[in-house]
Structures are given as structure tokens and as C-alpha cells.
């Protein structure tokens, strides 16, 4: 079972924030309006049909995707709101905040802006006409503010999810590019030699015994050289210079949206231990959504190398080995 970091756990909880905010807003309105001024039975029945579609819209927005059957569920919300306005009265008007938020989620501009403006203007007009002693300025601010409180949370959660997906895609693309580079190297060197050996071997079918013997010796020598070249290439992939690992780490972090600085001493840098520690630190940085900047520093003290990685100015890794 994978262990989630605090950042991962927080990220998974963020999509629930607009749902929680909506439930708190409705609970407060229920406590101070419906239970105090009107019989709560009818508002409860209306809310039972009004809230689920709205929560469905918020959940979809928090995951940066359009809600399923969005227009139909929005139409059901609008119908329920109209019934509440006609039956419950002014106490129901502020539930237009949830309808306003759903309008801005489901519809696309410019229709969403137009519909939202009509909804706000209509709700304020009803409030002025049927609540003569009320405060239309406060009502307008409350309507827009309550809708905005849930919308901002939903859109933020959706944007955060898209950012995480983009980071994961950037990391996957970096791995894919490295694999393609290795494939190109092997195809251009070992692959070419193997094709040449195969072609020469096929030509031996029609050669005389003396020529065939000489060609076979040459093929054996060529095969040994090709095998030695393949082994050297594989060892080179297994033992990447530390400088190459550092450059790749900076490039990968930059592709994931984390600007990283690199400070190095002069001279050749080689250390499998530091390379492994660096890869571990980069993996932690890529999975931590709170990271905004990183710094990678390598210093040399006599015959020892020291690697330091910081995230947002806070030390994340410090490793030291013999050079």
C-alpha cells in the first residue's frame, strides 16, 4: 500500500472543498432563514431536488471536466428555483447563488455571462418588489459572494488537478525521450553492424569453401567487435556521469513547472551514490505540489563531493561521498 505524503493527501481533499463550502452556506441559510421565517418542510423538499445537481456540477468543475447531462440538470435546478420563488417567497431568493454558480460552470461564454447577468438582475428585482424593507445592495453582494465562494474553490481544484496531470505527463515524456534516444543509438550502431553481418552471411550460400572460411572468420571477428561495442554502450547507459544526471534533473524539473538552479564545481563529476540520491530527491520534488522553486548545489571539499537539494529555500537533501 502506497504511503501518501501530506501534500498528496491535501491535494486529494481539495476537490471536496467546494462541496463543503456549499453545504455550510446552505446550512447557515437554513438555520437563520427557513427554520425561522417559514415552514421548513417545503424548502426541505425543494432543496432535496435542488442541491444534488448543483453538487454534481461543482464536483465536475473541481476535476476540470464538463458535468454529465449538464444542461438537463441545470434546467432542473432552474425549474426548482422558480417553484421555490413562487411558493416559498423571498426566503428562497438567496438560493439563486447556487444556481448562479451552476450557470457559470455548465454554460460556456458568452452565454454563461449573459445568463448569470439575467439571473442576478431577476433575483434583485424580485427582492426589491417583494421585500420592500430589504437592502438590495446587501442582497446583490450576498448572492454574488456566495456563488463566488464555491466557484473559486471548484476552479482552483480543477486547475490544481490539471497542473498535476501536466507534471506527470512531462515526466513521462522525459522518460520516453530518453528511451527513444537509446533506441536510436542502438539502431545506428549495433543494429547497423548486425544487418551488415546478416547480409554477409547470406552471401556465403554461393561462395566456394575457401572464400566461405575466410568470410566466416571475418564474421566471427565482426560479431565479437559488435558484442563488445554493445557491452560498452550498455555500461555507458548504466553509468551516467553525474553532470549529465544533474542537467537532466534541472530539465525535468523545468518541464514540470519548477524552476531549478544548478551550481557546480570545476572538474569531472562522477558518483553513483550521489546520482541515486539526486534521482530520489527529484522524484520527491515532482510529487510535492507545494514546491515552487528548487536549487541543486554540488561542492567539492578535497577528495569529497557534497550534494545539496533545496525546495523553496528549505533543505531537502544533503549527501556527501568520496570523489
Among 2-16, 47-61, 242-256, the minimum mean pLDDT is found in 2-16
Question: Is residue 23 a contact partner of residue 47, using CB atoms and an 8 Å limit?
Answer: no
Among 30-44, 203-217, 228-242, the minimum mean pLDDT is found in 228-242
Q: What ranges in the chain are assigned the alpha helix state H?
A: 6-13, 17-29, 35-37, 41-62, 70-87, 96-106, 111-130, 136-186, 192-203, 209-238, 242-255, 272-286
More confident residue, 41 or 71: 71
- CATH fold, domain 242-322, is Heat Shock Protein 90 (3.30.565)
pLDDT (0 to 100) of residue 66:
92
C-alpha cell at 2: 502506497
Q: What residues contact 126, with CB distance under 8 A and at least 6 apart? A: 85, 90, 93
Average model confidence (pLDDT) across the chain: 82
Among 3-17, 89-103, 133-147, 263-277, the minimum mean pLDDT is found in 3-17
pTM beyond 0.75: the answer is no
Q: How many CA atoms lie within 13 A of 269 on its CB side?
A: 23
Residue-wise pLDDT for 261-301, tens only, equals 988 887 777 777 888 888 888 888 887 878 888 999 988 88
Q: Read out DSSP for 85-115? A: HHHT-GGGGGGHHHHHHHHHHHSPTTHHHHH
More confident residue, 59 or 161: 59
Residue-wise pLDDT for 34-68, tens only, equals 655 667 788 889 999 999 999 999 999 999 899 99
- The domain locations on the chain are 6-163, 169-238, 242-322
pLDDT (0 to 100) of residue 89:
84
pLDDT band for position 119 (cuts 50, 70, 90): very high
Rg over alpha carbons for the chain, rounded to the nearest Å, is 33
Checking if the pLDDT of 305 tops 50, the result is yes
pLDDT band for position 221 (cuts 50, 70, 90): confident
C-alpha cell at 301: 571539499
- Architecture of the structural domain at 169-238: Up-down Bundle (1.20)
pLDDT (0 to 100) of residue 24:
92
pLDDT (0 to 100) of residue 214:
74
pLDDT (0 to 100) of residue 90:
84
Question: Is residue 23 a contact partner of residue 50, using CB atoms and an 8 Å limit?
Answer: no
Task: With CA atoms as reference, report the closest residue to 259 among 287, 285, 220, 225.
Answer: 285
Amino acid at each position: 500500500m502506497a504511503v501518501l505524503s501530506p501534500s498528496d493527501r491535501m491535494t486529494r481533499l481539495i476537490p471536496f472543498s467546494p462541496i463543503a463550502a456549499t453545504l455550510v452556506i446552505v446550512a447557515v441559510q437554513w438555520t437563520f432563514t427557513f427554520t425561522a421565517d417559514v415552514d421548513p418542510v417545503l424548502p426541505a423538499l425543494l432543496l432535496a431536488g435542488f442541491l444534488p445537481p448543483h453538487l454534481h456540477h461543482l464536483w465536475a468543475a473541481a476535476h476540470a471536466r464538463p458535468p454529465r447531462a449538464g444542461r438537463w440538470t441545470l434546467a432542473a435546478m432552474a425549474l426548482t428555483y422558480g417553484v421555490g420563488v413562487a411558493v416559498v417567497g423571498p426566503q428562497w431568493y438567496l438560493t439563486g447563488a447556487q444556481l448562479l454558480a451552476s450557470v457559470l460552470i455548465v454554460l460556456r461564454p458568452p452565454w454563461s455571462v449573459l445568463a448569470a447577468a439575467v439571473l442576478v438582475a431577476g433575483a434583485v428585482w424580485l427582492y426589491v418588489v417583494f421585500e420592500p424593507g430589504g437592502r438590495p445592495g446587501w442582497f446583490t453582494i450576498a448572492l454574488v459572494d456566495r456563488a463566488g465562494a464555491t466557484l473559486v474553490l471548484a476552479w482552483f481544484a480543477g486547475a490544481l488537478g490539471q497542473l498535476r496531470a501536466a507534471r506527470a505527463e512531462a515526466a513521462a515524456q522525459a522518460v520516453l525521450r530518453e528511451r527513444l534516444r537509446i533506441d536510436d543509438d542502438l539502431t545506428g550502431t549495433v543494429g547497423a553492424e548486425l544487418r551488415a553481418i546478416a547480409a554477409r552471411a547470406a552471401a556465403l550460400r554461393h561462395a566456394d569453401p575457401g572464400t566461405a572460411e575466410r568470410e566466416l572468420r571475418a564474421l566471427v571477428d565482426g560479431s565479437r567487435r559488435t558484442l563488445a561495442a554493445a557491452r560498452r554502450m550498455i555500461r555507458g547507459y548504466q553509468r551516467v556521469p553525474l553532470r549529465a544526471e544533474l542537467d537532466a534533473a534541472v530539465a525535468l524539473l523545468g518541464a514540470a513547472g519548477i524552476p531549478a538552479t544548478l551550481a557546480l564545481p570545476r572538474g569531472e563529476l562522477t558518483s553513483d551514490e550521489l546520482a541515486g540520491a539526486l534521482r530520489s530527491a527529484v522524484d520527491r520534488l515532482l510529487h510535492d505540489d507545494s514546491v515552487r522553486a528548487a536549487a541543486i548545489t554540488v561542492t567539492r571539499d578535497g577528495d569529497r563531493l557534497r550534494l545539496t537539494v533545496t525546495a523553496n529555500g528549505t533543505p531537502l537533501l544533503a549527501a556527501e561521498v568520496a570523489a
